[in-house]
C-alpha cells in the first residue's frame, strides 16, 4: 500500500500532516507552525508537540468527524471507492468541509482548491427532506464532500443574500438542516422549542429555526463553527468530548464506558480559561429538567481559537417527554448520571449534593440553579411555543404532551430538593410512569393562541 497524506489546514494555515503507510497512521505538527505565536492545537488530546501522534490517537479524532450512522459510512465508502471502515479514506474524500476549523486535503500542495455554490430553491430543499425521510442514509447529494457527526439524518446548506445554496469543494456551509427523527412525531419542532427554551433560561445555545419547506418540517441550525468576518466566512475550530478525550465515538454514552460529568468537568477545569465548567453544570441541570435523554459526550464540544479553549454553545438539546409507551416514558433517563441518578424526576437532594461536589461547586449554588430553572422552565417553554406558527405540523404534541410532562418533572425536581440527604421519595421507575401519565392526550381543548406568522 502506498503512502497517503492529508495536509491539515487550520485557520487558513498548514499545521501538519496526517500520514498512512502500511497500516500505520500518524499526525505530526509542522515545525514552522510550532514556532508561530498563539497556535491552535488540533486537539487537547494531541497538544502542540514535535513528536508524532500514533494511530490510536489519530483514529479516534478522525472517527469523531464522521457520521455515527454505520449505514451512512458504508455508503460513503462505496461511493468514494474506499474500504468499509477506512476512516482515513473517508476523511480524505469528505474532509473539505468537516465539523470544526480544520480542512483535510488529500494532495501535496498546501492551498485549498476553490469551491463553488449551487443555488437551490425551497422546492429543492423540500425534495431533499422527502428523500431523507424515505431513506435515512441518503445524507450526501451529488458532488458533495462534507461530513458531520451524529446519528440523525441531515445535510448542510449555505445562506446567501439570494437564498439557500449547496456548497461544493472547500466552500463552507453555514447551516445544518435536519428533518427530525421520523418515528417521533414533531421531533424537529420539539428540538427547536427545547433549544429556545434553554436560551430563555440563560444558556448559550446554537441559533435554530423551525421551518417548513413546502410540506416538509425541519429544524435549521446555524453553525457556530462558521463565522462571518470582514465579508468572508471563517471556520472556527471545535471538537466534541469524545475527541477531546481520545475516545471512539461508540463510547459517547456514559453507560458504554464513555465520559460522565466528572471527566468533562476535569477537562474543562484543566484547559478552559473562563467559566466553562459552571456553564456545563448548568447545561446538565437544564437537560435533565427538559427530559432530554441524549445529552451524551458528543453533544458537548469545546471551541479552540489560538491558545483559548472554551465550552462551545450547546446543541442537539431535545426533550424526550413527548414519547411514551404503555404508560411510561420511552426515554426515562438522561445520558449522564447526576450524582448517581439518571431517571427523570428521581434526582434528589443527595444526588445534587454529589453532583455539586463532582463539579467543584458549592452545593448551595447548585441548589439555587436547580430551583431557579425548575421554577421557570415551564413558563419559558410556554412562551417559546407561543412564537411557533399556529399552522406548524404536530404543534399539539407540545401542548398536550410535552408541557404537562415538563410541569410534572419540574415539580418532582423541586420536591426532590426537599428530601433529606439519603432519603427516597419514590420507587425506581415511578416518576417515569407518572410523568408519562401527565402527558396523555386529554379530550378536545381550545387551541392556544399563537403568532400567525
Q: In sequence order, what are the beta bridge partners of 383?
A: none
| All residues at 6 or more sequence positions from 446 whose CB lies less than 8 Å from its CB, including other chains | none
How far apart are alpha carbons 382 and 405 in whole angstroms? Answer: 13
How far apart are alpha carbons 103 and 95 in whole angstroms? Answer: 6
| All residues at 6 or more sequence positions from 393 whose CB lies less than 8 Å from its CB, including other chains | 186, 189, 212, 217
What pLDDT is recorded for position 437? 60
What pLDDT is recorded for position 423? 44
* Structural Rg of the chain based on CA atoms: 22
Instruction: Please give the grid coordinates belonging to residue 409.
Output: 418533572
Q: What is the pLDDT of residues 169-212, one digit of tens each?
A: 889 999 999 999 988 889 999 999 999 999 999 999 999 999 99
| All residues at 6 or more sequence positions from 434 whose CB lies less than 8 Å from its CB, including other chains | 345, 408, 412
Q: Give domain limits for the chain.
A: 4-105, 116-222, 238-438
| All residues at 6 or more sequence positions from 135 whose CB lies less than 8 Å from its CB, including other chains | none
User: Which stretches in the chain have pLDDT values below 50?
Assistant: 422-429, 441-453
Phi, psi of 348 (to 5 degrees): -115, -175
How far apart are alpha carbons 453 and 41 in whole angstroms? Answer: 45
What pLDDT is recorded for position 99? 96
Picking from 415, 408, 400, the residue whose alpha carbon sits closest to that of residue 370 is 415
What pLDDT is recorded for position 207? 98
Q: What is the pLDDT of residues 394-404, one digit of tens each?
A: 999 999 999 99
What pLDDT is recorded for position 444? 37
How far apart are alpha carbons 319 and 405 in whole angstroms? Answer: 10
What pLDDT is recorded for position 432? 56
How far apart are alpha carbons 437 and 408 in whole angstroms? Answer: 10
How far apart are alpha carbons 317 and 299 in whole angstroms? Answer: 8
Confidence (pTM): 0.91
CATH number of this structure's domain 238-438 = 1.10.1070
Helices 87-94, 55-63: axis angle to 10 degrees equals 50
Q: Rounding to the nearest 10 degrees, give the CA dihedral for residues 424, 425, 428, 432.
A: -150
How far apart are alpha carbons 230 and 18 in whole angstroms? Answer: 31
Amino acid at each position: 500500500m502506498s503512502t497517503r497524506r492529508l495536509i491539515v489546514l487550520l485557520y487558513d494555515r498548514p499545521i501538519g500532516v496526517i500520514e498512512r503507510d502500511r497500516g500505520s497512521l500518524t499526525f505530526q505538527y509542522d515545525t514552522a507552525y510550532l514556532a508561530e505565536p498563539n497556535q491552535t492545537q488540533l486537539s487537547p488530546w494531541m497538544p502542540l508537540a514535535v513528536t508524532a501522534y500514533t494511530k490510536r490517537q489519530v483514529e479516534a479524532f478522525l472517527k469523531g468527524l464522521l457520521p455515527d450512522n454505520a449505514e451512512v459510512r458504508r455508503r460513503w465508502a462505496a461511493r468514494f471507492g474506499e474500504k468499509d471502515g477506512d476512516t482515513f479514506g473517508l476523511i480524505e474524500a469528505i474532509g473539505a468541509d468537516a465539523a470544526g476549523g480544520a480542512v483535510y486535503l488529500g494532495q501535496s500542495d498546501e492551498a485549498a482548491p476553490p469551491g463553488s455554490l449551487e443555488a437551490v430553491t425551497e422546492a429543492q430543499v423540500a425534495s431533499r427532506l422527502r428523500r431523507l425521510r424515505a431513506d435515512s442514509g441518503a445524507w450526501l447529494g451529488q458532488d458533495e464532500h462534507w461530513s458531520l457527526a451524529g446519528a440523525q439524518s441531515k445535510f448542510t446548506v449555505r445562506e446567501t443574500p439570494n437564498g439557500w445554496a449547496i456548497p461544493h469543494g472547500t466552500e463552507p456551509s453555514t447551516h445544518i438542516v435536519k428533518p427530525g427523527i421520523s418515528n417521533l412525531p414533531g421531533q424537529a419542532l420539539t428540538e427547536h422549542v427545547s433549544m429556545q427554551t434553554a436560551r430563555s433560561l440563560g444558556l448559550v445555545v446554537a441559533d435554530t429555526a423551525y421551518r417548513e419547506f413546502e410540506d416538509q418540517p425541519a429544524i435549521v441550525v446555524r453553525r457556530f463553527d462558521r463565522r462571518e468576518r470582514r465579508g468572508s466566512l471563517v471556520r472556527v475550530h471545535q471538537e466534541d468530548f469524545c475527541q477531546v478525550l481520545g475516545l471512539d465515538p461508540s463510547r459517547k454514552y456514559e453507560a458504554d464506558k464513555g465520559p460522565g460529568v466528572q471527566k468533562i468537568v476535569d477537562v474543562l477545569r484543566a484547559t478552559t480559561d473562563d467559566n466553562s465548567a459552571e456553564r456545563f453544570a448548568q447545561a446538565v441541570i437544564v437537560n435533565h429538567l427538559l427530559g432530554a435523554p441524549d445529552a451524551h459526550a458528543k453533544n458537548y464540544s469545546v471551541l479552540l481559537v489560538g491558545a483559548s479553549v472554551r465550552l462551545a454553545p450547546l446543541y442537539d438539546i431535545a426533550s424526550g417527554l413527548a414519547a411514551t409507551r404503555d404508560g411510561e416514558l420511552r426515554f426515562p433517563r438522561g445520558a449522564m448520571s447526576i450524582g448517581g441518578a439518571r431517571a427523570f424526576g428521581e434526582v434528589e437532594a443527595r444526588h445534587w449534593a454529589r453532583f455539586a461536589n463532582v463539579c467543584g461547586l458549592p452545593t448551595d449554588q447548585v441548589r439555587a440553579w436547580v430551583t431557579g430553572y425548575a421554577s421557570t422552565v415551564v413558563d419559558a417553554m410556554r412562551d417559546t411555543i407561543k412564537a411557533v406558527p399556529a399552522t406548524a405540523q404536530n404543534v399539539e404534541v407540545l401542548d398536550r404532551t410535552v408541557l404537562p410532562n415538563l410541569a410534572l418533572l419540574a415539580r418532582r425536581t423541586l420536591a426532590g430538593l426537599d428530601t433529606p440527604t439519603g432519603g427516597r421519595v419514590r420507587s425506581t421507575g415511578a416518576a417515569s410512569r407518572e410523568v408519562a401519565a401527565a402527558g396523555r392526550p386529554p379530550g378536545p381543548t381550545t387551541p392556544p393562541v399563537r403568532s400567525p406568522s
